[in-house]
Copies of this chain bind each other. A is one copy, B any other.
Amino acid sequence: MADKSEKSNKLKPRLPRGLADRSASEIVVTRQMIEKIRAVYELYGFEPVETPAIEYTDALGKFLPDQDRPNEGVFSFQDDDEQWLSLRYDLTAPLARYVAENFDTLPKPYRSYRVGTVFRNEKPGPGRFREFMQFDADTVGSSSPAADAELCMMAADTMEALGIPRGSYVVKVSNRKVLDGLMEAIGLSTDKNANRRLTVLRAMDKFDRLGDHGVRQLLAEGRKDESGDFTKGAGLDARAIETIMSVFEPAADADNKIAQIDLRLKNSRIGQEGRAELEAIRSLVEAAGYSDHRIAVDPSVVRGLEYYTGPVFEVELTFATETEDGSPRFGSVGGGGRYDGLISRFRSEPVPATGFSIGVSRLLAALEYLGKVDLATETGPVVVTVFDQDRIADYQTMVAKLRHAGIRAELYLGSGKFGPQMKYADRRNSPCVVIQGSDEKARGEVTIKDLIVGAELAKSEKGREQHLQKQAQAQRSVPEAQLVEAVREVLARHAGR
């Protein structure tokens, strides 16, 4: 009973929902991926800058509208002077604060990149975390469409640097003003229609999953899903629905797509502005040799963030896969757009800016799916076993010798006998163990046990001669002075694994 009650008094080790630990292999492949992305961004002249995880809530623009209380979606707490602080929700708002604070000393236009975790105080779900990593690149101080076009090309180059074949990804470009023009065309541009506009945008965003018919239902009266749940629609009339659905119409190429938009938006000033910006980006990427196949005009792109003011882009992986939400493709791994208003919250003059953000874990999942990350089990460290606890200094000296020769090596630090030590070496994926019992010690020798050959030997049924040869490789005694050399031989034997 005493034991039991003691046990129940113990704390339960657990993480809050939506948070996750990262294992060695995940850390290693993430690092490899980040290095490749970084190399592309550096080639484009972007330079690193990083901001803290904590900012003033007002600097992030995360107060609830007309209230002195932070938005529920962000983790917030009060400082000792009662000012509200929040964990950063994305990397864009902190960059806006940084640029505004250091405006006079930064080169302009200012290209920068950053990688870091962001925090969302939202309901977690499969693949949806409350802390996750983003990799952002932004150009501040240029209103030129060339800045947007450059980000699209950089996104395409990044996908290819990561090994995603051409044709398996597409950078889609649209423009927020084209969507505004569509809303104007169907009479939803006034303030009182804000909610209906949102319903329309949400419906458009589901095209991949629900297809033409489903989206039309959501634009009209509504839609009942398989579970019987009914989602109320936007209540548009047939003509308005046709206007909206036109963005999904296939077109022979970008020129034709832009001509389609032109037609639908001929009476909308804002729509025409968007069309012209789209055309400018299109001609820049075409001139630089990026085909429609890599960077495509696609007015159906809806990016959720309210702060976008012009071009928006999205990188979509187009290969077929089974995803959780039932859509036929892997989907978006990053996106961005122009946010000309974000920095001018701090400054009296306008400061144009455009940026692009990669969802690190989502992109990593895609690379794993494509087999483009090297998850092959790395060879573990050499393990020096402990036969005699009194002689641990001798064993540690052997380990030190191996390490100084640049060989990854460990002393067994547990209290187990030979069996557990061999099991430990196995767990560590060791290529070989080093053994020195009293017999070897008396002869001034060490035994090197090749665990890989040993495992092969245990499985195979080779001829006698081969068996003997393997056996000699599997376990071998050498003079102590030849320890490093003998271990190197084993490592060389398995170097190609």
Q: Which residues of A contact B (CB under 8 A)?
A: 3, 6-7, 10-16, 19-24, 27-28, 42-45, 47-56, 58-59, 75-77, 79-80, 83, 85, 87, 96-98, 100-102, 107-109, 111-112, 117, 119, 121, 130-131, 139, 141-144, 146-147, 149-150, 153, 157, 283-284, 287-289, 345-348, 380-381, 392-394, 396-397, 400, 403, 406-415, 424, 427-428
CB contacts (< 8 Å) of A284 on chain B: these are 392-393, 396
Q: Which of A53, A424, A428 has the most CB of B within 10 A?
A: A53
**Cα(A408)–Cα(B347), bound, Å:** 32
- A346 touching B13 in the complex, CB below 8 Å, given contacts A142-B414, A144-B413: yes
CB contacts (< 8 Å) of A16 on chain B: these are 54-56, 79, 83, 85
Q: Are A101 and B288 in contact (CB under 8 A)?
A: no
Residue on B nearest A428 in the bound complex, by CB:
B107
When all copies of this chain in the complex are counted, the total is 2
CB contacts (< 8 Å) of A141 on chain B: these are 413-414
Q: Are B11 and A345 in contact (CB under 8 A)?
A: yes
18 more CB-based (< 8 A) A-B contacts, given A13-B97, A45-B381, A146-B413: A13-B346, A14-B101, A15-B55, A15-B56, A19-B54, A21-B52, A24-B49, A42-B408, A43-B406, A107-B424, A107-B428, A108-B414, A111-B410, A142-B414, A150-B413, A284-B393, A288-B393, A288-B397
Q: Which of A7, A27, A47, A52 has the most CB of B within 10 A?
A: A52
A404 to B: closest C-beta gap in Å: 9
Q: Residue A283 contacts which of B288, B289, B393 (CB distance < 8 angstroms)?
A: B393
- A13 touching B59 in the complex, CB below 8 Å, given contacts A7-B348, A45-B428: yes
Residue on B nearest A402 in the bound complex, by CB:
B43
